[in-house]
């Protein structure tokens, strides 16, 4: 996943993982691929209330129990996953943008955007923001 270009296969694989997590009862509120030019890599950011309830480490463990259950096998590098609280600054800013713009960001690409909290988004593909 450490490529500068996010391809359709990665988007589809991310969707498969999100669907599997939701089916397993691990609620994913918001999900997006986010690119960092500083790290020169893409990360799949997932938010879950579980991060606030039981901590990030526990959330990662729960995600990893679902990984091997997905058929065919997922081709996502698990080291590129980021589990965060639904109150993460980026998620809050995207939620605010969605509310103020009165539109849904789901399924949209966002490139070179400055959000209201002065957070810069180099590139992102948004599955959902809740």
- For residues 5 and 105, the model is more confident at 105
For residue 118, the model assigns a pLDDT of 87
Q: Rounded to an integer, what distance in angstroms lies between the CA atom of residue 88 and that of residue 92?
A: 6
Q: Rounded to an integer, what distance in angstroms lies between the CA atom of residue 18 and that of residue 48?
A: 11
| pLDDT-above-90 percentage for the chain | 79
**How would residue 16 be classed by pLDDT, with cut points 50, 70 and 90?**
very high
Q: What are phi and psi for residue 33, nearest 5 degrees?
A: -85, 130
Mean pLDDT of the chain: 92
Q: Rounded to an integer, what distance in angstroms lies between the CA atom of residue 23 and that of residue 115?
A: 32
Q: pLDDT digits over 22-73, tens only?
A: 999 998 999 999 998 888 889 999 999 999 999 999 999 999 999 999 999 9
Q: Which residues contact 112 (CB under 8 A, 6 or more apart)?
A: 121, 122, 123
Q: Which residues contact 77 (CB under 8 A, 6 or more apart)?
A: 1, 2
């Amino acid at each position: 996943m450490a490529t500068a270009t996010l391809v359709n296969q990665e988007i589809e694989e991310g969707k498969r993982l999100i669907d599997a997590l939701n089916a397993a009862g691990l609620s994913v509120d918001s999900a997006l691929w986010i690119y960092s030019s500083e790290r020169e890599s893409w990360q799949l950011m997932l938010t879950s209330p579980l991060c606030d309830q039981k901590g990030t480490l526990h959330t990662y463990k729960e995600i990893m129990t679902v990984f091997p259950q997905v058929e065919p096998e997922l081709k996502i590098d698990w080291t590129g996953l980021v589990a965060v609280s639904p109150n993460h600054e980026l998620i809050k800013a995207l939620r605010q943008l969605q509310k103020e713009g009165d539109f849904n960001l789901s399924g949209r690409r966002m490139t070179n955007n400055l959000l209201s909290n002065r957070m810069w988004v180099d590139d992102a593909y948004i599955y959902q923001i809740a």
